[in-house]
């Protein structure tokens, strides 16, 4: 599919990667810089045609469709920010798995998954800049900026649809490692506490346990207990809410080490004195079914060296 020429009538043929998209979403992506109000107006007035016929904004494109786009004036866009060579090298070296549909990495802590909110670029912008020949490259899900571990990008729309369908139907298996405050008592623990997003008067976004929140279920399993100071736990996410592991950990009295938003200041200071410079939350493992074969695949991301060293120090505290 060629890029539309905004100053002339353009006809685009829909390939496999764009099939299944709503026409309004397709136009928003294709006509970068054009206000959404203008896009909906040209849809409403019939200036956009699919196979020479008028369509509604919720029409889903099919492979082989021909989309007619009228001439549209577009404000000049600033060139995208390109990450430096060091960041590009880090991103490239983080690849864990790649095939024709998926690109899966061990995302470093401190690197956002996408630009915005004061961040000029993230993982997705980095890969798009490094692979300009890629016609389709999208994030399949999110990780917090400070969380490291398995992150899935999709190279085909069909792969993205299939993966996100598995996420919605809870058919993926996501496991995290977290270092939490205090001595873990007992074995496996299910935390079923609904979560709701809130915006504080300062504009900061926080997530809290609330009766009217969205259903959220995490399963905590102890891995190692380091005296009364800290415990390493493995967390399986049954749902995938924003900040779920962090808020559930704090809710049960075991906040995560290095968590400045939901954590414990004294515990964070102790861990910082032992060398921790980040949130100790790592997306360790992800299992899902490959769309074409239906076979399950498990991707594991090793802990970064600084986290492994901290665990070694805790082990030897006695």
Region 187-216: mean pLDDT is: 90
Domain contains 78: no
Domain contains 2: no
Residues 211 and 177 in one domain: yes
Domain contains 240: yes
Residues 243 and 302 in one domain: yes
State the CATH number of the domain containing residue 150. Answer: 3.30.2350.10
Residues 49 and 104 in one domain: no
Return all residues near 95 (Cβ < 8 A) that are at least 6 apart.
103, 104, 105
144 is catalytic: yes
> Over 247-259, what HEC string results?
HHHHHCCCCECCC
Residues 230 and 100 in one domain: no
Residues 177 and 254 in one domain: yes
Residues 144 and 179 in one domain: no
Number of other CB atoms surrounding residue 301 within 10 Å = 21
| Active-site residue (options: 17, 144, 259, 264) | 144
| Nearest-angstrom CA–CA distance, 273 and 279 | 14
Residues 251 and 217 in one domain: yes
The b-or-e profile of 170-188 (16+ CB within 10 A means b, else e) is eebebbbbbbbbbebeeee
> Is residue 115 classed as helix, strand or coil in its secondary structure?
coil
Reported as a single tens digit per residue, the pLDDT across 59-103 is 999 889 999 998 876 655 555 556 677 878 888 899 999 999 999
**In this predicted structure, what is the pLDDT of residue 90?**
87
Domain contains 5: no
Which of residues 143, 161, 179 is at a domain's end? 161
Residues 307 and 179 in one domain: yes
Residues 134 and 61 in one domain: no
Domain span at residue 246? 170-315
| Nearest-angstrom CA–CA distance, 26 and 48 | 12
> Would you tell me the crossing angle of helices 85-93 and 123-130 to the nearest 10 degrees?
100
Residues 89 and 179 in one domain: no
Domain contains 125: yes
Higher pLDDT, 226 or 198: 226
Residues 109 and 198 in one domain: no
Count: domains in the chain: 3
Which pairing describes strands 148-154 and 281-289: parallel, antiparallel, or unpaired? parallel
Reported as a single tens digit per residue, the pLDDT across 204-255 is 789 999 999 999 999 999 999 999 999 999 999 999 899 999 999 999 999 9
> Half-sphere exposure of 57 toward its Cβ, with a 13 Å CA cutoff?
13
Residues 144 and 189 in one domain: no
Higher pLDDT, 286 or 89: 286
| CA 155 to chain centroid | 15
Region 272-295: mean pLDDT is: 95
State the CATH number of the domain containing residue 50. Answer: 3.10.290.10
């Amino acid at each position: 599919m060629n890029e539309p020429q905004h100053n002339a009538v353009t006809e685009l043929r829909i390939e496999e990667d764009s099939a299944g998209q709503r026409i309004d979403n397709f136009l928003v992506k294709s006509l970068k810089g054009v206000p959404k109000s203008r896009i909906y107006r040209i849809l409403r007035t019939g200036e956009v045609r699919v196979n020479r016929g008028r369509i509604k904004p919720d029409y889903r494109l099919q492979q082989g469709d021909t989309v007619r786009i009228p001439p549209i004036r577009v404000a000049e866009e600033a060139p995208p920010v390109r990450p430096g060579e060091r960041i590009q090298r880090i991103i490239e070296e983080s690849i864990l798995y790649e095939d024709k549909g998926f690109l899966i990495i061990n995302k470093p802590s401190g690197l956002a998954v996408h630009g915005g909110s004061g961040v000029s670029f993230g993982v997705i912008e980095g890969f798009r800049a490094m692979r300009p020949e890629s016609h389709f490259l999208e994030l399949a899900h999110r990780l917090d900026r400070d969380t490291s571990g398995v992150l899935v990008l999709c190279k085909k729309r069909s792969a993205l649809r299939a993966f996100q369908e598995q996420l919605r139907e809870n058919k993926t298996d996501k496991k995290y490692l977290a270092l939490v405050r205090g001595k873990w008592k007992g074995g496996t623990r299910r935390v079923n506490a609904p979560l709701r997003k809130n915006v504080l008067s300062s504009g900061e976004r926080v997530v809290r346990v609330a009766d009217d929140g969205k259903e959220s279920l995490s399963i905590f399993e102890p891995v190692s207990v380091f005296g009364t100071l800290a415990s390493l736990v493995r967390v399986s996410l049954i749902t995938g809410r924003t900040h779920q592991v962090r808020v559930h950990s704090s809710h049960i009295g075991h906040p995560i080490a290095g968590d400045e938003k939901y954590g414990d200041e004294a515990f964070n200071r102790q861990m910082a004195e032992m060398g921790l410079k980040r949130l100790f939350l790592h997306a360790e493992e992800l299992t899902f079914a490959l769309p074409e074969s239906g076979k399950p695949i498990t991707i594991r991301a090793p802990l970064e060296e600084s986290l492994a060293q901290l665990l070694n120090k805790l082990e030897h505290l006695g």
